[in-house]
Amino acid sequence: MQIIKDLTNINYSKGNNRKIKYIVIHYVGAVSTARNNASYFKNTYRGASAHYFVDDNEIVQVVEDKDVSWHCGADKYYCEARNSNSIGIEMCCYKKNGKLDISNKIVDKTIELVKELMKKYNIDVNHVVRHYDVSHKVCPAPFVNDENRWNEFKKRLGQAPFKNTTVLEWQKVMNKCYGCELAEDNSYGPDSRAKANNYYLYYEKGKSVIVNDHVKFIQNRLIKKGFSCGESGADKSYGPDTRDAVKAFQKANGLEVDGYVGAETTELLLK
Ligand SMILES: [Zn+2]
């Protein structure tokens, strides 16, 4: 992911080895580009700033992650996020029917950026918040006025639990195969994710092939979604054909194409 750096010389504080715990999402509140914002904050004292600005074409970083940007300071707080423990991301706006809105492209890119930062700083989805959640400022307005848009955003960060009967079947198979004591609650949440990662499936030439009902379950899901696991079908054996089916599935779903069935690939196969 390409990030252009155009750091402000003045609108930030030194981080002093700060611990980053939150990511706070904003919108600029005016029509502008990421580069416009970077120059606005560059050399003149503004008493405000953010780490990143995202527009349709670019992501521009204005404050280093390790330093503090001034994006969510307030007199009264409604959660534990502060400038000192968070990264602030501003989404740029356009006007739709006279109202400020955020384009799908910007939302997509912001999600990509947030995911990368979550991974880098080990931040879970519960610590990704709106400016509104910090101080009740109506920001980002389209995500405050329409709660569904914010829920969708969070869902797409990939960690919101979801429920369906396929999850239950999978939990039963995992318990049977590995005795891993997963709650059979239909819900693909943190425990299910962790087990999917602990008991990931893979194929490597020269290593013994994994053969069990977990493999069979995954093969059946692949087949159901239109990905062939080779002539022998769901044969319980995670060989090269199944690995290739997983890779094709990963490619089609925008996942990392590595042929490993861990938490993310499992999640999409269960949906
Ligand atoms: Zn804001």
Cα-to-centroid distance, 159 and ligand 1 (Å): 24
Verify that 227 and 112 share a domain, yes or no: no
Report residue 160's pLDDT band, with 50, 70 and 90 as the boundaries.
low
190 alpha carbon to ligand 1 midpoint, in Å? Answer: 29
Cα 17 to averaged position of ligand 1 atoms, centre (Å): 24
> What's the 97 CA to ligand 1 centre distance in angstroms?
22
What letter does residue 125 receive in the DSSP assignment?
A: G
Specify whether the CB–CB gap between 29 and 81 falls below 8 A: no
Q: How far is the CA of 90 from the centre of ligand 1 (A)?
A: 7
pLDDT (average), residues 40-54: 97
Residues in contact with 46: Cβ distance below 8 Å, sequence separation at least 6, in sequence order: 11, 40
Q: Give yes or no: residues 128 and 194 share one domain.
A: no
Q: Identify the DSSP state of 20.
A: P
Same domain, 96 and 135: yes
CA distance 219 to 255: 18
Structure tokens at 186: 């239909």
Instruction: Find the 143 Cα to ligand 1 centroid distance in Å.
Output: 11
- Identify whether residues 151 and 166 lie together within a single domain: no
Task: Calculate the dihedral angle through the C-alpha atoms of 28, 23, 56, 50, rounding to the nearest 10 degrees.
Answer: 40
Interval between CA 184 and ligand 1 midpoint (Å)? 40
Residues 198 and 83 both lie in one domain? no
| Digit-coded pLDDT (tens) for 53-84 | 999 999 999 999 999 999 999 999 998 999 99
Residue-averaged pLDDT of the chain: 94
Whether 124 shows a pLDDT value over 90: the answer reads no
| Entry pTM | 0.62
Same domain, 242 and 151: no
Both 216 and 247 in a single domain? yes
| Final residue before a domain boundary, out of 132, 156, 180 | 156
**Å from CA of 79 to ligand 1 middle:** 15
What would the pLDDT profile of 172-214 be if each residue is shown by its tens digit? Answer: 999 999 999 999 999 887 778 889 988 999 999 999 999 999 9
Q: How far is the centre of ligand 1, averaged over its atoms, from the C-alpha of 204 (Å)?
A: 48
DSSP output for 54-88: E-SS-EEE-S-TTSBP-SS--SS-SSS--GGGEEE
- pLDDT of 147 reads 87
CATH code: domain of residue 236 = 1.10.101.10
Q: How far is the CA of 29 from the centre of ligand 1 (A)?
A: 8
Q: With contact defined as beta carbons under 8 Å apart, do 82 and 131 qualify? A: no
- My answer on whether 44 and 82 are in the same domain is yes
| Ligand 1 centroid – CA 148 distance (Å) | 18
249 vs 96, residue with greater confidence: 249
Q: Which of 104, 130, 156 is the last residue of a domain?
A: 156
Tokens 């969070």: give the residue: 154
Q: Give the count of alpha carbons within 13 A of 107, CB side only.
A: 17
Residue entry with tokens 């009967």: 165
20 and 48, same domain (yes or no): yes
Three-state SS at 265: helix
242 Rama class: left (phi>0) / alpha (psi -120 to 50) / beta: alpha
- How far apart CA 192 and CA 249 sit, in angstroms, is 20
Peptide bond before 142: cis, by omega within 30 degrees of 0?
no
Query: What's the pLDDT score for residue 167?
Result: 97
CA of 82 to the centre of ligand 1 (A): 12
Q: Write b or e for each residue in 40-63: b if 16 or more Cβ atoms lie within 10 A of its Cβ, otherwise e.
A: bbeeeeeeebbbbbbbeebbbbbb
Domain that holds residue 26: 4-156
- The confidence score (pLDDT) of residue 9 equals 97
Q: 145 C-alpha vs ligand 1 centroid, how far in Å?
A: 14
- Kindly state whether residues 90 and 184 are assigned to the same domain: no
Do the beta carbons of residue 184 and residue 174 sit within 8 Å? no
> For the chain, how many structural domains are there in total?
2
pLDDT of residue 159: 63
For ligand 1, the distance from its centroid to the CA atom of residue 81, given in whole angstroms, is 13
| Last residue in a domain, options 156, 182, 200 | 156
Helix (H) or strand (E) holding 143: helix 141-145
Ligand 1 centroid distance, CA of 150 (Å):
14
List the CATH number of the domain containing 23.
3.40.80.10
- Are residues 34 and 103 located together in one domain of the fold? yes
Q: Are residues 56 and 86 in the same domain?
A: yes
Highest mean pLDDT of the ranges 49-53, 161-165, 230-234? 49-53
Distance 76 CA to ligand 1 centre (A): 14
CA of 58 relative to ligand 1 center, distance in Å? 19
